[in-house]
A and B are shown apart, each in its own frame.
Chain A
Amino acid sequence: MRADGTLAILDRWGRAALPGTVLLFFVLLTLAPLRAPYLSDTLPLLPVLVVFQFSLVTPERLPGPLLLVMGILLDLLLGGPGAPVGISALGFILVRAAVIANRRYLVGVPFLFQWIGFCILCWGYVALVWAFTTLWTWAAIDPVPAMLQYVVMIVIYPLLAPLLARVRARDPLNVPELSRGSARPGETTT
């Protein structure tokens, strides 16, 4: 085997593993005892941002089963006694599905519209988790902290998203079939 062959394999593996590793990092980061006001309460929502952004740029490298595992891990680590396990996984999978269904509109549009898309999906996620946790534990849970989390998350998005978006292939249309979404060759989006 040639040397550059090994390098190429490593490169391919690295590229394939990057989104999952980043997601795992953010899942673990939710437990970091960060003392920054507002930010530490928002950490549990960061994985949603990662799922949204990677589903947008390279969905084939963040498959559904992986999201299932990560979501369950997040719930196991985060939740106290009685909290539903699997609700984050459900949220992740639905966010991914929603992004993939709308990739045609989301990939080529200016950043502002991606942001709006994230606002809508993240709101759906927060509402889903809140509703499920409330039903599951059958207790009136104050929705204000969740909403506060959401607002901080929306503000953070423009800071973090461009960084995560750098993993994408150079040209959105010059990539394998699966990650192209419904865009056709020759179709221009700008």
Chain B
Amino acid sequence: MAIRDDFEVVASQVRTVVQRFALGLLVIVTFGVMLVGKADTVLVEHARVLALDMVSPVLETIARPVAYANRAIADLREFASLREENARLREENARLLAWQTAARRLENENEGLRSLARFREGPEASFITARLVGDSVSAYMRGALLNVGRRVGVAPGQAVVTGEGLAGRIAEVGENSSRVLFVTDVNSRLPVLVERTRERAILAGDNSPRLRLALLQSIAGVQTGDRIVTSGHGGSFPVGIPVGEVVETSEGTVRVRPFTDFSRLEFVRVVDYGVTGLVGPAAPGPAAPPAGVRVR
């Protein structure tokens, strides 16, 4: 009996101690988790991927109704400006038809010249179409979750494009899910070219809707309206994917507006491009630059 009483006394004492220091213990545990996350990044990546894989089926089921609601809201909004939109589209269509003619002519010409120069084209890129099942947007991060993963060939570093241009790159890949880091994210650094001057630069995100053009050799040559395309340097990115256009050049900073409308993304394409294809056997003569990569 006495032993039992003693035991109960000790147990209750332990309980009070645990209750008193519960807050401290929990705080210590969180710091421990943070330190482990800092020290062992591989472990954290595994945990992230595991968590993503677990929740992506749930997200996929809620993504459809959410997408439907979003579309309904967008429809309502567009209904108000239907007339103006129609007129604008007609005008744009006329302009694009002229462009199409020009493009057809150039493609024919290009093909003829290529066969003349025996130019070997790089491997064709293949695409994986993915649905955006989750946003990963916060005050510190610009990204999204896709419903495709390793099983269909998605790998970290691959480019993610939309019809308008580059959206970002794959950052983490799970079995059936992956996370895209948008070009607007603060961690995003992208080697690009100014299309008009062929000048190389780095396009950096800072979590704002505008991108910053950095490490430019001469800022003077850049004008408002210049198109920025990927340069394909140092990575598995194809060359010449449009990224955005320069909207502001002032006091040594160049601001770029991305072509992709991140607030309306629903489907994207992951570009599966053989990295080794970029360094193929160079064609003789001055026609060597690897610009013949066809991206559709």
Enumerate chain A interface residues (CB-CB to B < 8 A): 28, 30-37, 40-41, 43-44, 64-65, 67-68, 71-73, 76-87, 89-90, 93-94, 97, 130, 132-133, 136, 139, 141-142, 145-146, 148-149
Complex Cα distance, B26 from A189, in Å, reads 32
Q: Which of B34, B55, B171 contacts A80 (CB 8 A)?
A: B171
Q: Which of A81, A86, A132 contacts B171 (CB 8 A)?
A: A81
Contact B187 A31 (CB under 8 A): no
Task: Known contacts A76-B47, A79-B141; decide if A35 and B264 are in contact (CB<8 Å).
Answer: yes
Contact A78 B141 (CB under 8 A): yes
Q: Which of A31, A35, A71, A81 contacts B134 (CB 8 A)?
A: A31
Contact B62 A86 (CB under 8 A): no
Q: Which of B16-54 contact A (CB under 8 A)?
A: 22-23, 26-27, 29-34, 37-38, 44-45, 47-48, 51-52
Contact B27 A94 (CB under 8 A): yes
B227 within 8 A of A: no
Contacts of B33 in A (CB 8 A): 72, 85-86, 89
13 A-B pairs in the complex with CB atoms less than 8 angstroms apart:
A28-B59, A33-B63, A67-B26, A77-B55, A78-B136, A84-B34, A85-B33, A85-B44, A86-B34, A97-B23, A136-B34, A142-B208, A149-B138
Q: Mark B232-247, 1 if CB is under 8 A from A, else 0.
A: 0000000000000000
Q: Mark B190-210, 1 if CB is under 8 A from A, else 0.
A: 000000000000000011100
Within the complex, the shortest CB–CB distance from B168 to chain A, in Å, comes to: 11
Contact A40 B171 (CB under 8 A): no
Task: Known contacts A85-B44, A86-B37, A93-B30; decide if A33 and B66 are in contact (CB<8 Å).
Answer: yes
Contact B23 A80 (CB under 8 A): no
Complex Cα distance, B220 from A34, in Å, reads 40
Contacts of B143 in A (CB 8 A): 80
Q: Which of B132-151 contact A (CB under 8 A)?
A: 132-141, 143-145
B125 within 8 A of A: no
Complex Cα distance, B58 from A73, in Å, reads 15
Contact A86 B136 (CB under 8 A): no
Complex Cα distance, B139 from A93, in Å, reads 21
Nearest B residue to A150, CB-CB: B139
Contact A141 B136 (CB under 8 A): no
Task: Known contacts A32-B66, A141-B186, A142-B206; decide if A83 and B141 are in contact (CB<8 Å).
Answer: yes
Q: Which of A33, A44, A97 contacts B139 (CB 8 A)?
A: A44
Contact A80 B181 (CB under 8 A): yes
Chain A: interface secondary structure? helix
Contacts of B144 in A (CB 8 A): 33
Contacts of A97 in B (CB 8 A): 23
Contact B31 A86 (CB under 8 A): yes
Within the complex, the shortest CB–CB distance from A8 to chain B, in Å, comes to: 27
Contacts of B186 in A (CB 8 A): 139, 141
Within the complex, the shortest CB–CB distance from A1 to chain B, in Å, comes to: 31
Complex Cα distance, B209 from A41, in Å, reads 13
Complex Cα distance, B172 from A103, in Å, reads 42
Contact B137 A83 (CB under 8 A): no
B67 within 8 A of A: yes
Contact B138 A33 (CB under 8 A): no
Complex Cα distance, B63 from A37, in Å, reads 17
B100 within 8 A of A: no
Complex Cα distance, B136 from A80, in Å, reads 8
Task: Known contacts A33-B132, A82-B187; decide if A64 and B22 are in contact (CB<8 Å).
Answer: yes
Within the complex, the shortest CB–CB distance from B158 to chain A, in Å, comes to: 15
Q: Which of B166-195 contact A (CB under 8 A)?
A: 171-172, 179, 181, 185-187
Complex Cα distance, B162 from A175, in Å, reads 56
Contacts of A133 in B (CB 8 A): 140
B263 within 8 A of A: yes
Nearest B residue to A139, CB-CB: B186
Complex Cα distance, B179 from A96, in Å, reads 31
Q: Which 6 A-B pairs have the closest CB atoms?
A: A86-B33, A31-B134, A85-B37, A146-B139, A90-B30, A145-B139
Task: Known contacts A31-B134, A146-B139; decide if A80 and B185 are in contact (CB<8 Å).
Answer: yes
Contacts of B110 in A (CB 8 A): none
Complex Cα distance, B134 from A31, in Å, reads 5
